[in-house]
Amino acid sequence: MSRVMIAATGSGSGKTTIVCGLCQCIKDMGLMPLALKCGPDYIDSMFHSRVLNMKTGNLDSWFCDENTIKELLFRKESESDITIIEGVMGYYDGQGFSTKGSSYEIADITDTPVILVVNCRGMSNSIGAVLKGYKEYIENNHIQGVIFNNLSSKLYKDASMAAHMAGIKPLGYLPVNKAIALESRHLGLVTSDEIEHFKEKVDTIAALMKESIDIKGIIELGHTATKCKTGCELNASDSKACKKTEKSNKEDIIHIAVARDEAFCFLYEDNLEFLREYGCELVYFSPLRDKKLPDDIDGLLLYGGYPELHAKELSDNVSMRNDIADKIRGGLPCIAECGGYLYLHKKLEAPDKKVYPMAGVIDGTGYNAGRLQRFGYMTLTAGRNTMLADKGKSFSAHEFHYWNSDCKGDTYSVTKASDGSVEIEGYGSDTLYAGFPHIYFPGNKEAARRFIKTCRCYRHKVSGIDKDIEKLAAIFPELTTIKALDNNAMKQAEKHWDGIAKPLHGLGMFEDMIVQIAGIQGNADVSIDKKAVVVMCADNGIVEEGVTQTGQEVTAVVSCNMADGISSVCRMADCVNAKVIPVNIGIAQDLPGSLIKTEDYKGLVNRRVMPGTKNFLKEPAMTKQQLIKAVKAGIEQVKCCKDDGYNILATGEMGIGNTTTSAALACILLDMNPGEVTGRGAGLSDEGLLKKTEVIRKAKEMYGIYKNDPLELLRCIGGLDVAGLTGVYIGGAVYRLPVVVDGVISAVAALIAVRLCPAVKDYILVSHQGKEPAIKALLAELDKKAVIHAELALGEGTGAVMLFPLLDMAMQVYKENTTFDDIQITAYEDYGKC
C-alpha cells in the first residue's frame, strides 16, 4: 500500500498535469496507480480516468464525515499499487477562510504525505518564502516533498536548496513547455475526451517527468502513508454483504438509466458505485443518439454536461425528448442535475443564441447568463416533502454553472456555504429532483437511499400497474384509446405565434394554451368557437356531520336554476355564448314546492347514480358499481358534447358539502395536514371550521391507506360530482377535447383522473387559483399554473368560464393579427423566453 497527495499553492499550478504524467509513469513501470480528486471536481477525475483506463473518484470532507472518507479510500486503494490524491485549489484553501473541505483536511484525515506543486513562473528567490510559509503555517502539515513547475533547469539547484532549508524534500521539476499544456475551453471546463491529442500530450509529460522528476522517490514517500484503520475494512465488508443481500432477489433488482454521451458527461463515479453497492443495475443511454429510454427501468439519472453545445441534436431527437417527458410525468423517479436540469426545460439557448425545444417537463428556458452564476458548496433545505428530503430537512450539494433558467422553481432554500446567501430554487416532488446543484451520494446517504427506495416503489407500482391497467381497461376500455398530443400541430402553432407581428411570447401562458389545444385537436388551425360548461350536481352524505350552513335542498334549487338559465354560471356563460349543461349525477332531494322530480326537470341532464352519497365517517360513500357508473357518466357526457360539435369544455359542480369531500380527498392524495386543506366553504363560522377540520382528520385516519389507490379512495369518500368530473377529464382525453379545471373540487377530480391515467394531464387547462387552501398544492401536483388569481370561491364552474373570453381574445390575435411576412419586417430572433 502506497499513497501520496499532489497539492499546490493555488489553482492553475499544474496539479492535474503532474498527476496525469505521474500516473502514466507509474503504469510504464508495470504498476497500477489510482488517482482520486479532493473536493467536488469530477472534471479532473475524468482526466485521471483517461490515463488510467479505470474508475476514479473523489474525497470530499465537506460532503463526507471522516469515517466515510476513510471507507471510500480503503475500498479504492485496495485495488491499486499506489494511490495519487490530487488536491483542490491551494493546499489550505477550504470553505470560506478556513481549512474545512481543503486538501489539507483530507491529508490530515487520511494521514497522507503531501507533495507540494509550486508554480515558479515569475519567481526565483521568493520560492523559498513560499515553501517556508506553507511548511510553518500549520504545525502538523503533512508536507514532505515538493515539485517545481515551470522552472528552468538552471534554477533547480537553488530551488532545491530552498526546499531543504524549509525541511521539504525536492522531488524534481517541470520546465516551461507549452506543448504539454492541458488547455481549457467552454466555461473553463473540459473533459478528457475533448482534449486534442490527449494521449500524445500525456506521453510527452511522462517523458519529461522521467528525466526531471524522482518517480521512485515519490513511490517511496508513498510507502510512509498510514493504512486505513481496520474499522474501515469492516465497513467495506458490511457494504459487500449488503450488496450481496440486495442482489440476491433478482426480481427486485432496480434498473436505473444513466444518460452518458458528449452532452451528459459530468458525474460522480462514486455515485454510480454507491448505487451498485445498494443492488442497482445501471443502464447507460444516449439522449443524443438513442430513440427512447431503455426498457424496464425504475429510475433515471440526467447528470451535467454540455447540453447547450448539443442543443440542436438533442432537440432533433424528438422521440427521446417525448419519451423522457412522458416517463417523468408518469412518475418515473428522476434526478436531473445542472445540464440534465436544463434538458428538462421547455427550451434551451445554444451559445449562438438560437433557442431549441427540449423535453418540456419544466416550463421555462435555459439561457446563457454570460458569467458564472453560482459556484461552491450549497445546502438545500426542502420547502415541502420531496423524494430526497422531507420538509425542513437538508442535504448538501455543489454548483458550477454559467447557464441559468427563467423558471428556477421554488422547492428548496439553497444556502451558499461561503457567504450564507440564500436563493429559492429547484424542483422537488415525490419522484423528481431537478436543479443546478450536484449531489454527492456518499456524503448524502439518506437522500441517495430515498432515491433508491422511490425507484423500488416505482418498480413495485409499475409491476402492479400493468395488472391495474388491465383491470382499469376492463372497467373503462376508453383508456386504451387515449393518444399523445399531436407534436406536429403544436410545432406549427408555435411557429405561427412566433411569426405574428408582436413581441415573442407576448401573450405568455395564453400562447402555450393555444399551442396545447392545437396538439389536442391535431390541427394548428385551432377552433374553440363552440363552448360548454359541464356542471356535475350531487349531494354528499357528510352534511350529517354539520359541516355546512345550509341543507341539501339548496343543491336542488341551484341545479334547477342552472337548467332554467338563471344561475351565476349561466349569466356568465351567456357573455361568451357558452352552453351550461347541468348534470344530475346524484341530487338527493326534489325542488321544494315543485311537483316535478329533479330526474325529470327540463334542462337538467339525468344521469343520477344514487340520491347523494353516504356519510363517509359511517360507511363508504358509494359502492364500486356506483363509482364506475358515475365515472362512466362523465365520459359519456363528453361523448355527447363531442357529437354535438363542442370543441372546448369547462367543468363545474354543485353540491352542498362538496368542499368537505374534496378537502378530504386532497388531504390524503397530497399527504397534507387537515388544517392545510380545510377552508370555510360557503362561509363557515370558526366553530364550523373546527368541526369540518376534525371530519377531515378522521377521514384521513380512516382512509389514508388508500392514498395510492385513487379509485378506492374516491369510492370511500365521494362525492358523485367528483367521480363524474373524473370521467369528464378522461372523456376529454378520449374524445380529444380540452377540458378546463375550475376550483378545488374540479382540481381534485383532475388529479384523480391523472393518477388513473397520466396521459389525461395533457388535455387539461387550468383557469384560476381560488380561495380554498388546497388549490395551490393541487395545481402544483398537477404541474399546472392558473392564469386568474382573483380569490374566486363561487363554484358552479364560474372560474372556468372566465377563462373563455381570455382565450377568445388570444385567439383573435392568433387568427387575425398580421404576421411579420405580411408587413415585410424581419421576425424577432427567439433568444429566450421573455
DSSP output for 282-298: EEEE-TTT-SSPPSS-S
- Which residues in the chain are classed under CATH 3.40.50.300? 3-230
All cell numbers assigned to 263: 452532452
CA distance 17 to 507: 53
* 3-class DSSP assignment, residue 336: strand
Q: Are 435 and 426 in contact (CB under 8 A)?
A: yes
Closest by Cα among 328, 367, 326 to 349? 367
Q: What is the reported pLDDT for 55?
A: 63
All cell numbers assigned to 349: 439557448
| CA 506, chain centre distance (Å) | 27
Give the residue numbers annotated as catalytic, written as ranges: 796
Query: Consecutive sets of 10 residues in the chain, 834 residues long: mean pLDDT of each?
Result: 92 88 92 86 62 72 86 83 91 87 93 96 93 94 96 94 96 86 50 59 89 95 80 43 41 86 86 90 96 94 94 96 92 95 96 95 92 82 93 91 90 89 92 94 92 86 55 80 91 92 89 96 96 98 88 94 97 97 97 89 96 95 94 97 98 94 94 83 72 90 88 94 97 97 96 92 95 88 93 92 98 86 68 46
CA angle 288, 291, 296 (to 5 degrees): 115
CA distance 148 to 117: 6
**In which order are the strands placed within the sheet that holds 355-357?**
355-357, 345-349, 362-368, 403-405
β-pair type (254-259, 304-305): unpaired
* CB-CB neighbours of 167 under 10 Å: 12
Q: Are 601 and 560 in contact (CB under 8 A)?
A: yes
Q: What is the reported pLDDT for 134?
A: 96
All cell numbers assigned to 732: 376529454
Q: What is the reported pLDDT for 235?
A: 45
Which CATH number describes the domain made up of 3-230?
3.40.50.300
All cell numbers assigned to 480: 386504451
- Which residues in the chain are classed under CATH 3.40.50.10210? 528-805
CA distances 518 to 245, 326, 356, 430, 545, Å, are 51, 18, 20, 30, 46
All cell numbers assigned to 347: 427550451
Compute the CA torsion angle 59, 63, 68, 69 (nearest 10 deg).
20
Residue 28 Ramachandran class (φ > 0 left, ψ -120 to 50 alpha, else beta): alpha
Helix axes 269-277, 445-475, angle to 10 degrees: 60
CA angle 395, 458, 664 (to 5 degrees): 85
Q: Are 710 and 756 in contact (CB under 8 A)?
A: yes
Which CATH number describes the domain made up of 528-805?
3.40.50.10210
Strand partners, 259: 285
Beta strands in 98-205 (DSSP E): 114-119, 143-149, 169-174
CA distances 71 to 89, 223, 242, 451, Å, are 24, 19, 15, 22
CA distance 153 to 213: 12
Please tell me the pTM assigned to this model. 0.53
Closest by Cα among 343, 349, 304 to 320? 343
All cell numbers assigned to 126: 521568493
CA distance 86 to 759: 49
CA distance 808 to 798: 16
Architecture of domain 249-463: 3-Layer(aba) Sandwich (3.40)
CB-side exposure of 265: number of CA atoms within 13 Å?
Answer: 21
Please enumerate in sequence order all residues whose Cβ is within 8 A of that of 495, keeping only pairs 6 or more positions apart, or say none: none
Q: What is the reported pLDDT for 191?
A: 53
